[in-house]
Amino acid sequence: MDFRSPASAFAVCSFCKSTIVRDGESLRRIGQSAELFDDHSPLQLGAAGKYQGAAFTLVGRLQYRYAEGTWNEWHALFDNGRSGWLSEDNGRYVVAFDAPLTGPAPAATSLRAGAQVVVDGQAWSVASVNAAKLIAAQGELPNAPNLTRG
């Protein structure tokens, strides 16, 4: 198993679908991912691009299911070592980066589409609220995928 990023602590084996955690020089199997749903995505692991002038490579993918279908969250590794996410849903794409909160996040049950919320002193608009389940993972990931089989 090859890791492209020293920051990636987890990976899903493309052959056996085992979820692997890297701890120093050792690897340990902690679970197994389901097969990815064939969504005919134009994106694939190893695809490269640029966002605001910064080059990145797609090194991992999380696939979610919700009432209206599936979507992908691609783990993007930037050339400067930064990690981000490229969300793909029906031909629409959004780039996002993890950011720490200094206070609590709003409860998911309190969110309503179209509502305005304030998080860490910054105003946000809620675009949509959907219940989703992580169904499969692929490649390198910064955190262990929370997969349940069934």
Q: How far apart are CA 104 and CA 40, in angstroms?
A: 37
> What is the predicted pLDDT for the residue at 35?
62
User: CB neighbours of 40 closer than 8 A, spacing ≥ 6?
Assistant: none
Give the mean pLDDT of 11-19: 68
The residues with which 15 forms a beta bridge, in sequence order, are: none
User: CB neighbours of 57 closer than 8 A, spacing ≥ 6?
Assistant: 4, 46, 47, 48, 76, 77
Q: How far apart are CA 71 and CA 41, in angstroms?
A: 10
Q: Please name the amino acid found at residue 18.
A: S
> What is the predicted pLDDT for the residue at 126?
94
Report pLDDT digits (tens) over 69-90: 888 999 999 999 899 999 986 6
Instruction: Express as a percent the part of the chain with pLDDT over 90.
Output: 35
Report pLDDT digits (tens) over 27-83: 766 666 656 656 667 889 899 999 999 999 999 999 998 898 888 999 999 999 899
Report pLDDT digits (tens) over 78-136: 999 899 999 986 678 899 998 889 988 899 899 999 999 999 889 999 988 988 988 88
pTM for this prediction: 0.72
Cite the DSSP H helix spans in the chain: none
Q: What pairing do the DSSP bridges indicate for beta strands 132-141 and 54-66?
A: antiparallel
| Residue matched to tokens 């691609």 | 74
